[in-house]
Amino acid sequence: MTANLLDLDLEGLAAFCEQLGEKRFRAVQLFRWIHQKGASRFDEMTDLAKSLREKLPSVCHISDLPVLSRQDSADGTIKWLFDVGDGNAVETVFIPEDDRGTLCISSQAGCAVGCRFCSTGHQGFSRNLTTGEILAQLWHAEHFLRKHLKSADRVITNVVMMGMGEPLQNYSALVPALRVMLDDHGYGLSRRRVTVSTSGVVPMIDRLAQDVPVALAVSLHAPNDALRDSLVPLNRKYPIAELLDACLRYLPAAPRDFITFEYCMLEGVNDQPEHAQQLLKLVKTHGGRGVPCKINLIPFNPFPDSGLKCSPRAVVLRFGQILNEGGVVTTVRKTRGDDIDAACGQLAGDVLDRTDAARRLAERRQDAAVQPIRFVHTAKDPQV
C-alpha cells in the first residue's frame, strides 16, 4: 500500500519528499496542487519535474472517499454519505449562508461517548477516521462545489468538527487535518473559522490549546452534574467544574475571546426556567469571575427510538430570554437541511444496525447510481 498524501500535513509531506531525495519546495508545490487545485493525479501537476511526476505514482496516491450518496436540500444544504469500508459510512454536510459556506465534518465512524440525545451515539463506536479520511471530506466537498458553482474562489469558508464522532477522542488524526485546513498553502482558513466541538475531553482541550488552538465549542447540555451525567456519559469522568476550568485555561490561546456552549433543548429534561437560571449562575460565577461565553441553543432533532422530544419553540425562546437578560449572549441555532436529515445529531451514517449494514450500504450504492442528482444552491437563502 503506498502513502496517501491526504494523510500528511505540510511538515509530513516535506519529510516524505526528503525521503524521496526531493527539496522542500517540491512539497509546497505538491501540497498546493492537492489542496488548492484539487488535483488527484500526478500527471496534472505540470510544474513538477517530469521525473518526479513519473516517480510519484509508484510511492504514493491521493485517495478520495467513495460517495454512497449525495442529497441536496431545498434550502441549499448538501449532505454526502461517504463509504469508509467494512459497512461503515460517515456524513458531511455543507451549509451555505449569505456570507459564508460552512462544512460540517465527521471525525469518527460512530462515537464512543454515547450521548442520550444523539443518533451517532446510539449506534456505538466503529473506528477512528484517519487524517486522510477527515481531510477527504473537505477536499471532496470544496472541489466538487467549485466545479458545480463554476467558482474560481474558495467556496468553503468555515469548518466545524460537528459531524459524527468526538474529535478529541481522535486527537492524533485530528491535529494534522486541522493544520492542513489552516495552512496558507492548504485551505488557508483562519483559526476563528475552524471550530472543534467537544463533549468535554478535558486533557485534550489542554493539548489543543498547545497544538492548534482553533475556535472551541463545548457541548454542555445541562447546568448540573446529575443531569449532565445522564445525558453525556463522559461527564462522569470529567465533571462540569473540571470542564469549565479547562475552558478557562483554553481562552488565552483561543482565536476568540469566548467559548461557545452548545445546549440541546430537550422537552421536560433540561429546558425549564430553573435550568436556565442555574446555567446562568454557573457560567457567570465559575472560578470566581465566570467563563466568557456565548450559548447556542440547539432544537433537538428527533430520531427513532430516542424517547426524547424537542422543546416547544416558546420554551426555547423563554430559556434564551432568561440567559440573554442575565447578560449571556444566546442564540437559537437555525435548523438546516431538515428534508434530508442533515440536522445536528441526525447523522447516523448507515451503521445503526451493523448486522446488515453492508447489505444496506450496497442498496444505497445502487440507489445513488440510479437516482438523478439534483443540485440546488441558493447563495441567498431565505432564513428558515
Residue 301 binding result from ligand SAH, ligand SF4, none, given CB thresholds of 5 to 8 Å by partner type: ligand SAH
CB of 296 vs ligand SF4, minimal distance in Å: 14
Among candidate residues 138, 124, 262, the one with its CA nearest the CA of residue 193: 138
Beta bridge partners of 161: 196
Residue 114 interacts, among ligand SF4, ligand SAH, none and using kind-specific CB cut-offs from 5 to 8 Å, with: ligand SF4
Least spacing, CB of residue 172 vs ligand SF4, in Å: 18
| 138 contacts 156 by C-beta, under 8 angstroms | yes
d(CA 286, CA 293): 12
91, 133, 142, 166: the catalytic one is 91
Nearer to ligand SF4, 14 or 208 (CB): 208
Contacts of 253 (CB under 8 A, 6+ apart): 209, 210, 213
Q: Which is nearer to ligand SF4, 64 or 242 (CB)?
A: 242
Please provide residue 359's backbone torsions phi and psi, each rounded to the nearest 5 degrees. -60, -45
The reply to whether 344 belongs to the active site is yes
- Rounded distance, CA 296 to CA 217, Å? 9
Residue of 262, 271, 350, 381 interacting with ligand SAH (CB under 6 A):
262
Tell me the three cell numbers of residue 251: 481562552
Say which of 118, 247, 310, 344 is annotated catalytic. 344
Residue 344 binding ligand SAH, by CB under 6 A: yes
CB 167 within 8 A of CB 196: yes
- Kindly state the smallest distance separating residue 104's Cβ from ligand SAH, in Å: 8
**Would you say the C-alpha torsion 364, 370, 374, 375 has a positive or negative sign?**
positive
Among 60, 162, 215, 280, binds ligand SAH (CB under 6 A): 162
Output 121 or 186, the one with its CB closest to ligand SF4: 121
Asked if 250 touches ligand SAH (CB under 6 A), the answer is no
**137 binds ligand SAH per the rule CB under 6 A:** no
Ranges within 189-208 binding ligand SAH (CB under 6 A): 197-199
- Should residue 126 be labelled a site residue for ligand SAH when binding is judged by CB under 6 A? no
CA–CA dist 137, 141 (Å, integer): 6
Residues that bind ligand SF4 (CB under 6 A): 111, 113-115, 118, 120-121, 165-166, 199, 219
Instruction: Evaluate whether 126 touches 143 at the Cβ level (below 8 Å).
Output: no
Amino acid sitting at position 173: A
Q: How far is CA 270 from CA 148, 232, 324, in A?
A: 42, 12, 17
CB under 6 A: which stretch of 68-76, 130-138, 151-159, 296-304 binds ligand SAH?
A: 296-304
Answer yes or no: 310 catalytic.
no
User: Comparing C-alpha atoms, which of 289, 297, 196 is closest to residue 248?
Assistant: 289
Radius of gyration of the chain (CA): 21
Interface pick for ligand SAH out of 5, 118, 202, 209 (rule CB under 6 A) = 118
Catalytic annotation, residues: 91, 344
Binding site for ligand SAH (CB under 6 A): 117-118, 162, 166, 197-199, 219, 262, 264, 298, 300-301, 344-345
